Amino acid sequence: MPLPIPGSQVRGSKSGKPIMALLDLLGRTWSLGVIWHLSQGPATFRQLQQRCEQISPSLLNTRLQELKILQLIETQSDGYALTDQGRSLFDIIAPLGQWSKDWAKHLPAGSES
Amino acid sequence: MPLPIPGSQVRGSKSGKPIMALLDLLGRTWSLGVIWHLSQGPATFRQLQQRCEQISPSLLNTRLQELKILQLIETQSDGYALTDQGRSLFDIIAPLGQWSKDWAKHLPAGSES
DNA sequence: AAATCTTGCTACTAAAACAGTAGCAAAGTA
DNA sequence: TACTTTGCTACTGTTTTAGTAGCAAGATTT
């Protein structure tokens, strides 16, 4: 699947509505995870691998390139970091952290941590 | 991949931190899309198929079952609908709509709609 | 009540995405 | 000069998703 660039055809929208491009992007494995972990601060490739337990290096690299082209992250001297745009996206989804804890309390195998 | 239930092992977290379970769930193709489209109001199976251009019925059904078990959606007389919990999740991500439009303006093939 | 249509799916196959592991070239360190 | 670390690439195998066909149950029409 090609990059979900707003304006071009993406999953869920032939016209490439920006929101659909974004949902396509965020709907890929580890996209949200990478952004989430980078919000803790810049990280080198291998540091990110550790923050994201279980991610394979090939996929990590793929995601990093995608997010870089789409200008959510950039490379700095100290590794990968969120761009201003990336941070503004994170600011929106940050409340998911608390939400997920509340959610966990009401679920079948309801445990939390 | 089994359901990402907080507390059990999920992608990105052996301990099943709720946020990781949530990111795993939302990182699956069409999870976010289904929630997004259901926020416009309840829909029958076939209506949802139409709102989500291009989704296959088998995957739609898989996602619906997952989201139902995880209590983000429920079935009502008029079809599928967000639960209160699902709506509270949507309230968090709703600003992505506007964000994505701003984002689109600054991108390579920068178009919008 | 027979035929037709709609709805909510299931079944199947092919294509794509992802995991898991190995390892290499370049840069840094001892 | 040898050894380590870093940022990846390559490869194989499994899992996910797309794409299409169609069926059983209920509603609607004739």
Rounded CA–C1' distance between A54 and C30, in angstroms: 33
HSE toward the beta carbon, residue B71, CA cutoff 13 A: 15
Using alpha carbons, list the distances in angstroms from residue B41 to A20, A102, B18, B83.
Answer: 18, 24, 27, 11
What's the CA gap between A17 and B98, in Å, rounded?
A: 11
The residue with tokens 């079935």 is B75
Closest CA to B30 of B2, B57, B70, B69: B57
> Residue A44 has which token pair?
């080198």
Residue A112: predicted pLDDT: 40
Residue B112: predicted pLDDT: 40
- Phi, psi of B10, deg, nearest 5: -130, 170
pLDDT along chain A (113 residues), means of 10: 89 91 97 98 97 95 97 96 98 98 83 39
Residue B65: predicted pLDDT: 97
Residue B7 to chain A, least CA–CA distance (Å): 5
- Judge whether B93 and A93 are in contact, CB under 8 Å: yes
What's the CA gap between A100 and B25, in Å, rounded?
A: 11
Contacts B89 to A, Cβ<8 Å: 96, 99, 103
Residue A16: predicted pLDDT: 86
DSSP character at residue A13:
B
Contacts B53 to A, Cβ<8 Å: 12-14
Nucleotides of C under 7 A from a protein CB: 7-12, 16-23
Q: Which residues of chain B have pLDDT under 70?
A: 108-113
Residue A61 to chain B, least CA–CA distance (Å): 16
DSSP character at residue B52:
S
Using alpha carbons, list the distances in angstroms from residue A13 to A7, A20, A27, B57.
Answer: 10, 6, 14, 17
